């Protein structure tokens, strides 16, 4: 697993093998991560401006932190990594250090489906990669809405095992399938 593009391009991240079943870690493959960032930078989303450069990024169910770190490498201003798993938080911390991004990142050790109210600015770009098939993505989105974690018109990139409809009030921007992963891009309400 490595950073695909930007200032840290080619940086190898801490190894997890095929994931850690006990910790429910299933890292986004390099291929899927590259496809996501190609869509963000060159796809429909990019037609309304660059959603990565200068963005405040929220990485929910962060796992290894690869998605948020990729965004930092490509010019995001700040990334908050949310994961309640001890193994995941250790990997995220190691990966932030490997990228020397300590001043641009924070780790929030809570469950993404039960977030506390956000007291800072909302996040512009949100990565959502919950354990598949458990409806945790829907619960995390509801938690973010209730806690005011999304900036108006935030872009949400949601990975899941099936194509999912946009939650009420959200707009479906794009949806693609990569192997056993469906990537759904949504816009939060204004």
**pLDDT score for 175:** 92
**Total domain count, the chain:** 1
Find the CATH number of the domain harbouring 89: 3.40.50.150
Q: Which stretches of the chain score pLDDT less than 50?
A: 18-19
Residue 56 lies in a domain: yes
The DSSP letter of residue 135 is: S
Q: Quote the tokens at residue 28.
A: 């986004």
Q: What is the pLDDT of residues 27-66, one digit of tens each?
A: 677 778 888 888 888 766 666 678 999 999 999 999 899 9
Distance of CA 173 to the CA centre of its chain: 16
**pLDDT score for 35:** 83
Domain encompassing residue 71: 21-187
CA–CA distance, 115 with 149 (Å, rounded to integer): 9
Residue 16 lies in a domain: no
Residue 79 lies in a domain: yes
Contacts of 133 (CB under 8 A, 6+ apart): 160, 161, 162
Q: What is the DSSP string of 7-47?
A: TTTTPBPPP-TT-BGGGTB-PPPHHHHHHHHHHHHHSGGGG
For residue 44, give the H/E element and its range.
none
**pLDDT score for 18:** 47
Contact 169, 156 (CB under 8 A): no
**pLDDT score for 21:** 52
What pTM does this model have? 0.90
Contact 89, 110 (CB under 8 A): no
**pLDDT score for 54:** 93
């Amino acid at each position: 697993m490595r950073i695909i593009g930007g200032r840290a391009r080619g940086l190898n991240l801490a190894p997890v093998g095929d994931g850690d079943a006990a910790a429910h870690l299933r890292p986004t493959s390099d291929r899927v991560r590259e496809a996501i960032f190609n869509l963000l930078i060159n796809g429909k989303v990019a037609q309304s401006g660059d959603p990565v450069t200068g963005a405040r990024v929220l990485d929910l169910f962060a796992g290894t932190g690869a998605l948020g770190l990729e965004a930092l490498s490509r010019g995001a201003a700040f990334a908050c990594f949310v994961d309640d798993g001890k193994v995941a938080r250790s990997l995220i911390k190691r990966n932030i250090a490997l990228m020397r991004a300590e001043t641009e990142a924070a780790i929030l050790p809570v469950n993404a489906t039960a977030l506390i109210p956000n007291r800072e600015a909302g996040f512009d770009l949100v990565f959502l990669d919950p354990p598949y098939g458990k409806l945790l993505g829907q619960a995390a989105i509801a938690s973010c809405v209730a806690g005011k974690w999304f900036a108006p018109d935030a872009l949400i990139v949601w990975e899941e095992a099936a194509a999912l409809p946009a939650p009420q009030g959200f707009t479906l921007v794009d949806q693609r399938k990569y192997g056993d992963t469906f990537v759904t891009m949504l816009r939060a309400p204004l």
